[in-house]
Amino acid sequence: MNRFQSVRGFNDILPPDTALWQHLHAVAARTFAAYGYGEIRLPLLEQTALFARSIGEVTDIVEKEMFSFQDREGDSLSLRPEGTASCVRAGLEHGLLHNQQQRLWYAGPMFRHERPQAGRYRQFHQLGAEVFGIGGPEVDVELIALSARLMRDLGLRGLTLELNSLGSAEARAEYRAALVAFLERHESALDADSRRRLHSNPLRVLDSKSPQTQEILRDAPTMMDALDAESRAHFEALRQGLSDLGIAYAINPRLVRGLDYYGRTVFEWTTDALGAQGTVCAGGRYDGLVQQLGGTPTPAVGWAAGVERLILLMKAQQATAPDAAPHAYLCALGEAPQREALRLGERLRDALPGLRLLVNAGGGKLAAQLKRADRSGARVALILGDAELEAASVQVKSLRAGAEEANGPSASAQQRLTWAELPAQLSGLLHA
């Protein structure tokens, strides 16, 4: 028997995990709304050239990680590896960026052909925010504050905010030259990966994990020292703004980005609870990208968070999602009661919006039904047999007797109610 398997790195998300995902999205939507951000929904497929132009031709993402293919017309298309490029493209295409300020957020799957690992998948999900048309450091502060609130409201703890500035394009070019000159003097002592990056993407040498390379970097020039006056002022204002809001941060002069479009502010929320995939949310300023994609110069900042990693952290820290178990479980004994149970169920749902009612559809003995009711997490079982049907009533039996049992053998509460009395009794469950 040759059963199908899901494609490597493309995962199913099942209950009860989906409850965590729903909770995360609900909290995110609420948080973005609290800051006046509008949701933008973008396609999964774009022209390959869009990503090559925005992310950078020589980045690993574009060189070897995109799912690219030719469609029937021979156009080269790619599944999006990130959201910012599409967001800018859509903004330009619909005039959203024309002399305007925009606060946008998005959520959805992204695709990168990497070797899967915990917290790293080929289809993964990001939650992102982008602000266009505001160049001042206050927006950087706002975006970081938003991300901080989001993670706090998800119940996450122990995250570190790292901060750096990559300066203006000119300052960065000068710094890059200085860094390359420095590293070339120590080239023979660098690890192989760093030697390879020395000429393709020298800034990435800064976050090399090789201890030997980090040793050499101790004496390397830093971007901080090379900052242009304007970027320096921007960075100072950002630091001040974060302090004003009581948001703690650590300056990490080695913090760089893998995507080419970033400049000035860059930041990352990291954790040590997730092994090698410790970055949970990252972003920065990318004032040059809109122009690079054919628009007029437009300042922009944004960040993206890895949903799988947030979920992993929520689980590790036992963050809880709101209880989604049914409030009540309706057991029906026999044919006529079973038909009536479906009708009664509809009436109860009409009467009590928000009620989570599971009607047993499988039939079976009462003992078995009660067992299922118990397992479902419901707080009460409603029992409908022929006798009850006759009297237009049900027996209401409370489950979840764990607390009672601790206090000794108490007969669990059971009472008989008419259908008319039910809604009033059950409404208490909605607010318990």
Partner RNA sequence: GUGGACGUAGCUCAGUUGGUUAGAGUCCCAGAUUGUGAUUCUGGUUGUCGGGGGUUCGAGUCCCCUCGUCCACCCCA
Q: In the complex, which residues of this chain contact RNA (CB under 7 A)?
A: 1, 5, 8-9, 59-61, 65, 82, 112, 114-121, 124, 126, 193, 197, 204, 208-210, 257-259, 268, 275-282, 304-306, 308-309, 364-368, 370-375, 383, 395, 397-401, 409, 411-412, 414
Minimum gap (Å) between residue 5 Cβ and RNA: 6
- Taking the complex as a whole, the smallest distance from the CB of residue 268 to RNA amounts, in Å, to 6
C-beta of 213: minimal distance to RNA in Å? 8
Q: Which is nearer to RNA, 54 or 168 (CB)?
A: 54
Question: Do residues 299 and 287 lie in contact, with contact meaning Cβ atoms separated by under 8 Å?
Answer: yes
**CA–CA separation, 264 and 261 (whole Å):** 10
Residue 245: name the closest of 156, 146, 104 by CA.
Answer: 146
Nearer to RNA, 3 or 72 (CB): 3
C-alpha distances in Å from residue 310, one per residue of 25, 231, 250: 11, 31, 21
Q: Are strands 102-111 and 123-132 parallel, antiparallel or unpaired?
A: antiparallel
In the complex with RNA, the residue whose CB is nearer, 236 or 405, is 405
Which residue number, 302 or 345, has a Cβ lying nearer to RNA? 302
Buried b / exposed e over 354-385, threshold 16 CB at 10 Å, is ebbbbbbeeeeeeeebbebbeebbbbbbbbbb
Please state, in angstroms and rounded to a whole number, the distance separating the CA atoms of residues 110 and 122: 8
How big is the chain, counted in residues? Answer: 432
Strand partners, 397: 381, 414
Min separation Cβ 71 and RNA, Å? 24
Minimum Å gap between C-beta 361 and RNA is 13
Provide, rounded to whole angstroms, the least separation between the CB of residue 362 and RNA: 9
Give the three-state DSSP class for 187.
helix
Q: Would you say 89 or 228 has its CB closer to RNA?
A: 89
Q: Quick one: 228 or 257, whose CB is closer to RNA?
A: 257
Please give the full DSSP string across 208-229, using - where no structure is assigned: ---HHHHHHHTTS--HHHH--H
